[in-house]
């Protein structure tokens, strides 16, 4: 991520950027792609990032203040990175605006769908949503391992306080541990 030379560089900003980097690292674990079937494409990486940011945001919503401010700062950091990435790819100002709007709609739509399934404890519904959004498939069975990983990650984050989350980032399970059902290629 390119740093904006005009933005204040204070401890809070650095802490949010570190949380963003650690969350992004969770979305880049090779086992997500190799064992759980997340496509190793630009779209697949966006989906993995969204998924992990949603998990962190779900956890931050459960924590007392100032977690809500941290959540908003994390979302801002993620979208600043997406904006910068589009510009680095050569997308012009008008195109960036349109694409950012679509990315935001996709992100918030996925967040609502993942939240609903996780809040209801509906692993089948979660698998169906993940299959459609992350794996770009209609077969919910293909996302069973990914759904189990997401549910375990969500449960694991529940035991983390804000200080631990900010210090170490999200402590996520090993995705390879959920690869019981091999995902057939699309």
pLDDT digits (tens, 9 = 90+) for 36-61: 999 999 899 999 999 999 999 999 99
Q: How much is the average pLDDT of 9-15? A: 81
* SS3 assignment for 16-47: HHHHHHHHHHHHCCHHHHHCCCCCCCHHHHHH
| pLDDT exceeds cutoff 60 at 93 | yes
Q: Return the closest-CA partner of residue 133 out of 117, 156, 120, 119.
A: 117
The position carrying tokens 């967040």 is: 111
How many other β-carbons are positioned within 10 Å of the β-carbon of residue 169? Answer: 19
Separation of alpha carbons 50 and 24, rounded Å: 9
Strand boundaries in the chain, DSSP class E = none
Q: Write the Ramachandran bin of 8: left for phi over 0, alpha for psi from -120 to 50, otherwise beta.
A: beta
pLDDT of residue 88: 77
Predicted structure pTM score:
0.86
Contact (Cβ atoms closer than 8 angstroms) between residue 140 and residue 131: yes
How does pLDDT run across 109-150, given as a tens digit for each residue? 999 999 999 999 999 999 999 999 999 999 999 999 999 999
């Amino acid at each position: 991520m390119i740093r904006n030379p005009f933005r204040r560089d204070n401890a809070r900003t650095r802490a949010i950027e570190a949380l963003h980097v650690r969350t992004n690292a969770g979305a880049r674990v090779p086992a997500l792609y190799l064992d759980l079937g997340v496509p190793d494409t630009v779209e697949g990486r966006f989906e993995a990032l969204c998924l992990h940011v949603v998990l962190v945001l779900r956890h931050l919503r459960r924590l007392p203040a100032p977690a809500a401010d941290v959540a908003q700062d994390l979302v801002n950091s993620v979208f600043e990175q997406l904006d910068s990435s589009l510009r680095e790819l050569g997308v012009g100002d008008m195109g960036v605006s349109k694409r950012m709007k679509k990315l935001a709609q996709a992100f918030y739509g996925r967040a609502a769908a993942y939240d609903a399934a996780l809040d209801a404890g509906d692993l089948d519904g979660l698998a169906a949503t993940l299959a459609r959004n992350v794996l770009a498939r209609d077969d919910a069975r293909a996302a069973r391992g990914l759904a189990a990983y997401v549910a375990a990650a969500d449960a694991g984050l529940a035991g983390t306080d804000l200080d631990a989350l900010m210090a170490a980032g999200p402590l996520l399970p090993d995705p390879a541990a959920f690869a019981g059902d091999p995902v057939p290629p699309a």
